[in-house]
Amino acid sequence: MALIGYARVSTVGQSLENQIDLLKEYGCTRIFQEKQSGSKSNREALQQALEYMRDGDKLIVTKIDRLARSVKDLHNIASQLEDRGIGLVFLKEQIDFSTPSGKLMFTMLGAIGEFERDLINERTAEGRERAKKQGKHMGRPGQPSKNLERALELFANREESGISVNDIVKMTGVPRSTIYAKQNKHKLL
């Protein structure tokens, strides 16, 4: 029986060190790791871990949400492992999927996690809609019209004045892409 670890973080800027340390402390002989969103079902390191494992092995994961983001995905992975005679252990939640109480806790915590994520998404959408109805600007703040007007004026006269676009950006603080986009709009009008 081999203990195989799986560590995952969602973004490149996050560190896997804590998860790897915990998996080593637990006794994992091999650790598969990746920096990939949990919402993606096609995760290369997870697939490699699943292919590597044999009957009697255990997949060790630090937390449920490191393995998957939905109850459906969690159940699919757990069922696949169970059918192959492979155990599944979550360290933080202290769940060993090979026991009946572990399966129950696994299902309950997975459902709660998905419910929580859905609530956050719902609240975020409601807040965005409320802000739009109140006339609040969504997204990046726009450039002050004075700066934009000045940048467009300088851009239009850049050949005569000898000012480069980089100089205009430095002088006005208006990004190059905005100057070109607005200049193109003015040409069309």
The residues annotated with a catalytic role in the active site are 10
Give the whole-angstrom CA distance, residue 109 versus residue 164.
59
Identify the bridge partners of residue 61 per DSSP, sorted by sequence position.
Answer: 6, 90
Give the whole-angstrom CA distance, residue 34 versus residue 111.
24
- Give whole-number Cα distances, 89 to 48, 95, 160, in Å: 18, 6, 71
Note whether 54 and 45 are within 8 A (CB). Answer: no
31-40 burial: b if 16+ Cβ within 10 Å, else e: bbbbebebee
Backbone φ and ψ of 98, nearest 5°:
-80, -5
